[in-house]
Structure 1
């Protein structure tokens, strides 16, 4: 099968969609399919992706050639910049995966047009929550994680209480977590991994609460370095204040053996598959109660057979196989 991926964002940019699309592209190749990509992301000179041609959308003729070459046009989130290609063959197999709620959260002319044209596509939703919000039928295929990097590292001592991983922006709820920790009656240690525009404000909040000796900012991390940090923590918290399409970070934390506490923000509860605790979005008091319980019962969450099976189903290879079934 010849697969053309048309994505506004892609490697070397870093983010949920970028990481997912790159993982899927590599797995499609591992199954013996040809893959080419059209993206606005400028590629790193001298660091090509093996076996995958990447074209910038400014090269219209090259795009058209790739469109005629392909058997399937796949878009991770719909981008109207690529829809024009379908004028030349409206019967081309066209697949759109929906990774967030933007088509349900706006009603401007552009969004209404997107909701209209996706009815001609085969649609994939990354969670049941996204599928319910979508205005057309879709197949639910949960996101994958990098199982080579994100796993339990037995040589890392699991001796730190709490972990937050995410961009330091208001939607991710790190400030809610800091405030919830400030009300704890037991000693604790919290590590914060990530960077973003809220960093200075969050650090000032920690200092104002007198928690500088208990809360540590570790900066941006990824891949094995991040996985090893996860393996040193007992509990990972994802306190998002806005609906998440899925939540790959929660899946990664689960794979590294963390006990998961997540808010009921969109697809986040689906990401942990019942292996963790869910609290109401924005409810700091409820989060404090859960954190207290974790400190009172410091046992490490076991990697049960059921959890292992759940994680196996979310490997990149397993998820790519499900995508290929839709493509076919």
Structure 2
């Protein structure tokens, strides 16, 4: 099968790249399965396993799709253009687009249900590309991972949980101390800014758990699966996909800060091995690619993915 993957961004990202990372690993898995992958992405992209076409925003998408392509995989929450090739559209965020394509695919069951759909594929990662977790390492603090300046990620909630605890510490990855949504002078809170994969692995390998008290309906949350991979249980709110991804065996969810404070005091009750194996088994890129292939086949057989 000849698959074109379209994304209005670079195909790789060093310091950030939730969607970019997922799509890269999807293409890599499809290639390993014997499919031909072409990325249609922004200038500055490269790929060592697939052909890359640089997207020109001044031209129609239709005109930039090679004739040999069998199916087009769009990654654009606001895609509305008509094209003649068979296509699927992955919706990665909480879009306000009222004209979603019938072949839209969401990234969690909860995400899909909020758009009156039952069509979803969980994000998966290539865990072989990550530094191997040291599950025997000493754990001395908790961590927050995400765009801390974004109010709905609720780093302030994570900070409050730590402040209410007696001695716990928090390392914030993805933000600085001086932003209005993150500011604190508490010396038990450290801010690491934007971090690369090496630093992220180092911090999570020493973390007791992820604090993730988001105040919006999180579509998926790669911070959750990456943290679990490194043996970190998840302590978060009950919004969006969290109840779907975080079982009682690998974390604790509550809308109460006080309950979360109590929960983190017992973080050692969670098995680091169980957290890691759960991430590897349930949220890997091969499983994701197989599920997308099922969607591709449905569309190629001239069937719609729309909920009936």
- Determine whether 1:277 maps to 2:252: yes
Is there any run of 5+ residues in structure 2 with no aligned partner, and where? 298-308
Residues 196-245 of structure 1 show CA distances to partners (whole Å, capped at 9, x for unaligned) of 6x743366x421xxx22x11112222324312211101121111122110
Partner in structure 2 of residue 294 of structure 1? 264
User: How has the CA–CA distance of structure 1 residues 306 and 183 changed in structure 2, closer, same or farther, with 3 Å as cutoff?
Assistant: closer
SS at match of 2:277: helix
- Determine whether 1:72 maps to 2:71: yes
SS at match of 2:123: coil
Partner in structure 1 of residue 7 of structure 2? 7
Partner in structure 1 of residue 114 of structure 2? 133
Deviation at 1:266, TM superposition (A): 0.9
C-alpha distance in 2 between matches for 1:175 and 1:303: 26
SS at match of 2:9: coil
Deviation at 1:292, TM superposition (A): 3.2
Q: 2:240 aligns with which of 266, 283, 291?
A: 266
SS at match of 1:12: coil
C-alpha distance in 2 between matches for 1:200 and 1:227: 25
The CA RMSD measured in Å over matched residues stands at 2.6
Partner in structure 1 of residue 32 of structure 2? 30
- Determine whether 1:235 maps to 2:209: yes
Partner in structure 1 of residue 218 of structure 2? 244
C-alpha distance in 2 between matches for 1:80 and 1:159: 44
User: How has the CA–CA distance of structure 1 residues 62 and 276 changed in structure 2, closer, same or farther, with 3 Å as cutoff?
Assistant: closer
**Range 171-180 or range 49-58, more displaced:** 49-58
Q: 1:159 aligns with which of 130, 134, 139?
A: 139
User: How has the CA–CA distance of structure 1 residues 7 and 256 changed in structure 2, closer, same or farther, with 3 Å as cutoff?
Assistant: same
SS at match of 2:179: helix
Is there any run of 5+ residues in structure 1 with no aligned partner, and where? 281-285
Q: 2:105 aligns with which of 97, 118, 124?
A: 124
1:41-80 matched pairs, under 5 angstroms: 41-44=42-45, 48-58=47-57, 60=59, 64=63, 66-80=65-79
Residues 44-103 of structure 1 show CA distances to partners (whole Å, capped at 9, x for unaligned) of 5xx54443313213474895363422110111234437x24x1xx3xx32111222221x
1:109-258 matched pairs, under 5 angstroms: 111-112=97-98, 114-115=99-100, 118-119=101-102, 121=103, 123-135=104-116, 137-148=117-128, 149=130, 151-154=132-135, 157-169=137-149, 170-184=151-165, 186-195=166-175, 199-201=178-180, 205-207=183-185, 211-212=186-187, 214-258=188-232
Partner in structure 2 of residue 283 of structure 1? none
- Determine whether 1:99 maps to 2:92: yes
Partner in structure 1 of residue 300 of structure 2? none
Deviation at 1:247, TM superposition (A): 0.7
2:209/2:233 contact within 8 Å kept? yes
User: How has the CA–CA distance of structure 1 residues 9 and 317 changed in structure 2, closer, same or farther, with 3 Å as cutoff?
Assistant: same
**Greater C-alpha Rg:** 1
SS at match of 2:258: helix
C-alpha distance in 1 between matches for 2:213 and 2:52: 38
Q: Give the length in aligned residue pairs.
A: 292
C-alpha distance in 2 between matches for 1:171 and 1:34: 39
Partner in structure 2 of residue 320 of structure 1? 289
